[in-house]
Chain A
Amino acid sequence: MTMIKAQHLAVSYGHGDTALKVVKDVSFEAQKGETFGLVGESGCGKSTILGALAGRNKQWTGSIEIEGETIGQKRTRAQLAKQQLVFQDPFGSIHPRHTIGRTLLEPLEIHGKDRRQERIEKVLTDVGLPLKFRYRYPHQLSGGQRQRVAIARALILEPKILLLDEPTSALDVSIQAEILNLLKDLREREKLTYILVSHDLAVVAHLCDRVAIMQSGGFVEIATRQQLLENTVEHPYTRILMDGSRGYVSEKRERNSAALPA
């Protein structure tokens, strides 16, 4: 079943003369339970696409379907709840003056849900945080714990889709591993569909089934996980990004090894 379908999606910022088309005509879809990746260098438009899917950027053209339902620029509460965004910066995405409990209660109040404390306890357990954390303020939590809170806030409305905007790029590798494992578990348990943005192809290949490689607002290629792991991607730019995730490529060593007979 197709969860997300975007066709000829173009997104711009600004009005009139200063209008700037940042995403140019991209099309993709993600099935239920699938994870679709977006990779590319900073400024290529990854967050902008997520913003359009989440309902944050309203200046888009083309068509977006969520769970078969065509979405307009204005959304109802129920439509907003179907997909939730997880932000890159765990220090800026949680209200500094709300306790964690308050942060998690907020969406329940907006949507008039029942059994509130029960839901908060369940979601805290789901993301692996102790229950008493609900009385804490964000400044008392580490970066990894805050990102768990951000994931909990996104999950508490029981969305079908999580839009993950570089959820681990502000974290240490050891913490990144915990969060990536958590995301994998949640995807299986809750049958979630993810759109994962990252600049690191290794992270994307770890979690995603298919990946769109972006450059200045467009897709250069949509590669499968298999292609990434077997190194059979087509576009040279994808290769560059793959090399980048492996580290530094010494040009001298490269030249030397090229000079040697194979």
Chain B
Amino acid sequence: MAKSGTFSNLHDWLISEDFTSSRQARLHSVYLGWRSLIANPLAFAGFAIVLLLIIVAALAPVIAVHDPFAQDFLKALQAPSAAHWFGTDEFGRDVFSRLVYGARTTLYITILVTIIVAPIGFVIGATAGYLGGWVDVVLMRITDIFLSFPSLVLALAFSAALGPGIENAVIAIALTVWPPIARLARAETLTFRHADFVIAAELQGAGTGRILLRHIVPLCAPSIIVRLTLNMSSIILTAAGLGFLGLGAQPPMAEWGAMAASGRQYLLDAWWLTTVPGIAILTVSLAFNLLGDGLRDIMDPRNG
């Protein structure tokens, strides 16, 4: 291989299973995961787009060439040009800059929802699965109630009740996303509940909390992470839907769904107003889906 000396040394060190420290063992599995990610073009494409989204969101002030909130009615509804790559909207704001700032909103919503939902879903599902009995029955009935509504309808109902605004949208979306995670965590927990290594920990005196956190979490984590990644796209779409209906981010905040919504009045004259944010929503949700599918292959313990 045409690798330089240090690189191939590093490669050998990472690939060797003859570990001399736990750091090497951890890096080894990360490295193997990275290699299988590169080996899977679709997943890697998803990964690259997600990475791009994060970079764009982080560097928004640098990337955006115009102030996303600066209105200039003289420039309203201009077609894409060298000055305004994606044209301008009805208030004369630069669509490209708003798109870049919109990436922040999108990322903010998805990350916040995920942070809220992952622990709640896991704790409810794993507790139900591990303890069983009436705890299981009660927790799962509650989950079923939430599951029985279509998620957009539920999110609509909650954000209508909580009032418009991005924080309320996050809460409303989170309320619709946790039940499938809880179901998944419960199913995974049930498969390990009676494994010998769990019994061994119980017989050494480990309590419920310790078993759930130390023993069940590492086993459930891969499938939950995969599920959350796949869920990102529906979070983005729900957020966009709420934005579109005026229940999510409020003007003048840049949000892709709201941008598409406000552009629909000018659909025939200014196609870019709806098309550009629409494509952004589509691309990012597709990217999360591809990444999630790839992660499933990489992280599933049954594959390795």
Contact = CB atoms under 8 A, between A and B. Distances in A.
Is A in direct contact with B (CB under 8 Å) within the complex?
A: yes
Interface stretch (A103-111, A176-184, A203-211, A253-261): A103-111
B218 interface: yes
A106 B201 contact: yes
B300 to A, nearest CB: 12
Interface stretch (A3-11, A17-25, A31-39, A77-85): A77-85
Contacts of B204: 80-81, 84, 106-107, 110-111, 157
Interface stretch (A90-98, A188-196, A223-231, A234-242): A90-98
A45 to B, nearest CB: 17
Which of A87, A97, A150 gathers most chain B CB within 10 Å?
A: A97
B301 interface: yes
A153 interface: yes
Interface in B204-248: 204-206, 210, 214-215, 218-219
Contact of B203 (A84, A94, A96, A140): A84
Interface string B253-289: 0000000000000000000000000000000000000
Contacts of A97: 218-219, 301
A54 to B, nearest CB: 5
B200 A96 contact: no
Interface residues of B, number: 26
Interface stretch (B12-20, B112-120, B122-130, B159-167): B12-20
A97 B197 CA distance: 11
The size class of the interface chain A forms with chain B is 20 to 34
B132 to A, nearest CB: 13
A96 B301 contact: yes
A54 B20 contact: no
A80 to B, nearest CB: 5
A99 B95 CA distance: 51
B20 A106 contact: no
Contact of A106 (B24, B206, B219): B206
B22 interface: yes
A101 interface: yes
B202 interface: yes
Contact of A85 (B195, B203, B215): B203
A92 B19 contact: no
A87 B200 contact: yes
A171 to B, nearest CB: 16
A95 B63 CA distance: 47
Contacts of B301: 96-97
A93 B205 contact: no
A98 B205 contact: no
A13 interface: no
Which of A55, A94, A95 gathers most chain B CB within 10 Å?
A: A95
A98 B218 contact: yes
B81 interface: no
Contacts of B201: 106, 110
A246 interface: no
Interface in A111-141: 111, 132, 134-137, 139-140
Which of A81, A92, A106 gathers most chain B CB within 10 Å?
A: A106
A87 B204 CA distance: 14
A81 B215 CA distance: 19
Contacts of A93: 196-197, 200
B21 interface: yes
Contacts of B152: none
B60 interface: no
28 contacts: A56-B203, A80-B205, A81-B204, A81-B205, A84-B204, A85-B199, A87-B199, A89-B196, A92-B196, A92-B197, A97-B218, A97-B301, A98-B218, A99-B22, A106-B201, A106-B206, A107-B204, A110-B201, A110-B204, A110-B205, A111-B205, A134-B22, A135-B19, A135-B22, A135-B25, A139-B304, A150-B200, A157-B204
The 4 A-B pairs with the shortest beta carbon distances in the complex, nearest first, are: A135-B19, A93-B196, A77-B205, A97-B218
Given A81-B205, A89-B196, A132-B18, 15 more contacts: A56-B202, A56-B203, A87-B199, A87-B200, A95-B215, A96-B219, A97-B219, A98-B218, A107-B205, A111-B205, A134-B22, A135-B20, A135-B22, A136-B19, A136-B25
